[in-house]
Structure 1
Amino acid sequence: MATAPQQQLPLFYNQLEPLSSQVHGDYRVRVADTAKFLAEQHAVPVTVEEFPLVQRYMPIVFSVGDDPVPLALMGLNEGVNTFFDETGKLIDPNFYVPAYIRRYPYLLARLRPESDELSLCFDPTADTIGQFEDGEPLFVDGQPSDFTKGILQFNEQFEQAGARTSMFMKDLKDMGLLMDGEVTIQPEGAAQPFIYRGFLMVDEAKLNELRGDQLRKIVQNGMLPLIYAHLFSLSQMRDIFGRQMRMGKVPQPQLVAPM
């Protein structure tokens, strides 16, 4: 049986296995209202299409490193998620669940390094897919069910959004608009402020200094509203901090929080 490459698996994925009617013809998918893998996850990747919705609930920052990606913060410290409880159940239904989370346990993966073809795979360790008596069938009479076709379409759209997000990040880097981020929060009555670092953000000063041709480019290609969605979302840092305070999960002041 063919297997998907296992090295450097994305966040949440433990294994990858190509979906096959020969092997998984009797598999079904159960709807779950909990996601245990989220219980202690404080950050999740998001695509540029999601910025307008994400900014209403979570800060959007960028990871450090050579290839930064946009991240939505569900907590300001590793191991802290202020939107999902310890069982992985959503605490408040008024919340936008990022597509990266909704995609799991499925993933489009390249089975052969020399090929550009992507195959629909899944994480066999997930508890929502298997040989169940109930649930949505993945195959009907040996052919992908409408449910499976919907999964494939969603994953294809996610890959396309990912490509647009990569281009957005490349443009930010090429224009030198990214800088090391730092947020200082001084709670009332606290002797010292809480300082959060370990992420990238857009440098507003450099944004305001862009040449006319550069500014026209980011207006015409739709980058400018995305940049402002990111900048506006940073005000959510204090809301997330407040949620952590109410949960009793605030660390010592001046913590450097890796993203």
Structure 2
Amino acid sequence: MASAPQPQLPLFYKDLLPLNSRDHADWKVGTMEDAAFLAQTHAVPLTSDEFIDAQRHFPIVFTAGDNPLPIALFGLNEGVNTFMGDDNKLTSAVYVPAYVRRYPFMLAKLRPEAEDLSLCFDPTVGIIGKRDEGLALFNDKAEPTEYTQGVLEFCRRFEESGQRTKAFMDELQKLDVLMDGEISITRNDQPEKPFVYRGFRMVDENKLRELPLDTLDALNKNGMLILIHAHLFSLNLMRTLFERQIALGKMPVAPAAVN
């Protein structure tokens, strides 16, 4: 079974195999008992479709660089996830980004020049294989089961959401309303030593207010303005996330940046 081309695997994925009825006719999917793959992750990719749901739980910011992407912050420092318990399970009823929910599956090109995407999976996750219990991937006729069809449809919708997210980010860059973010948070017991977080981008509210009325009207009609506001509202959770780290005893020795 040949792995799909993988010059650089996405977050969480350690390997990728294309799913097919020849090699995986009798394979099943078991239950993922925990989310160990997420335990040391402080930032998760987010689609613009999820902003309204996610902004109630996480700060939503954008990555630095020439091609910024939205991310949900689970922690303010590298390797810190404030929503995971010692058992590698989510500790509260929190919104789970679609990027996390699709794992260990994803759509990928089997060849760089290919136009079509194929359903692939990470075989290292350990829940997919020849096993007595679990959900079958293919039926006796070597056809995808209802479960597999559901996974494929979810991954297709995720890719469509990715295209809408790209259009949203392209519009933000076109309008030139993004700026380098910086947030300073002070502990009550150490007011003289603020923790300064940088290395992300955010919408500049001043530039947003200065946009022409017809541009703001267009953003309102196409649904992008409410997404911008969701992002801005979510920034109020930076302090909440900071306090979660304090409660968990996961503060750095010295102030560090969000990477």
Question: How far apart are the structure 1 equivalents of 2:138 and 2:196?
Answer: 51
> Tell me, what secondary structure is at the counterpart of 1:53?
helix
Which residue number corresponds to residue 38 of structure 1?
38
Look up the equivalent residue of 1:34 and give its one-letter code: D
Confirm whether residue 226 of structure 1 aligns to residue 231 of structure 2: no
After TM superposition, list the pairs within 5 Å mapping 1:1-259 onto structure 2. Answer: 1-92=1-92, 94-141=93-140, 142-190=142-190, 191-258=192-259
TM-score (norm 2): 0.96
Look up the equivalent residue of 1:106 and give its one-letter code: F
Whether the aligned pair in 1 keeps the contact of 2:3 and 2:15 (CA below 8 Å) is: no
> Tell me, what secondary structure is at the counterpart of 2:23?
helix
Shift of 1:253: 4.4
Look up the equivalent residue of 1:119 and give its one-letter code: S
Question: How far apart are the structure 2 equivalents of 1:197 and 1:156?
Answer: 34
Whether the aligned pair in 2 keeps the contact of 1:40 and 1:86 (CA below 8 Å) is: no
Question: How far apart are the structure 1 equivalents of 2:134 and 2:101?
Answer: 17
Look up the equivalent residue of 2:205 and give its one-letter code: E
Whether the aligned pair in 2 keeps the contact of 1:193 and 1:253 (CA below 8 Å) is: no
Question: How far apart are the structure 2 equivalents of 1:249 and 1:217?
Answer: 43
Question: How far apart are the structure 2 equivalents of 1:65 and 1:5?
Answer: 25
Encode CA deviations 1:15-49: one digit per residue, 9 max, x unaligned: 11100111011111112230111111000001111
Look up the equivalent residue of 1:130 and give its one-letter code: G
Question: How far apart are the structure 2 equivalents of 1:130 and 1:235?
Answer: 44
Shift of 1:86: 3.9
TM-score (norm 1): 0.96
Whether the aligned pair in 2 keeps the contact of 1:109 and 1:120 (CA below 8 Å) is: yes
Look up the equivalent residue of 1:241 and give its one-letter code: F
Look up the equivalent residue of 2:173 and give its one-letter code: K
Shift of 1:213: 2.5
Question: How far apart are the structure 1 equivalents of 2:235 and 2:162?
Answer: 22
Shift of 1:113: 2.3
Whether the aligned pair in 2 keeps the contact of 1:195 and 1:253 (CA below 8 Å) is: no
Look up the equivalent residue of 1:121 and give its one-letter code: C
Aligned length: 257
Structure 2 residue ranges without an equivalent (≥5): none
> Tell me, what secondary structure is at the counterpart of 2:125?
coil
Identical-residue share of aligned pairs (%): 53
Shift of 1:187: 1.8
Question: How far apart are the structure 2 equivalents of 1:40 and 1:2?
Answer: 29
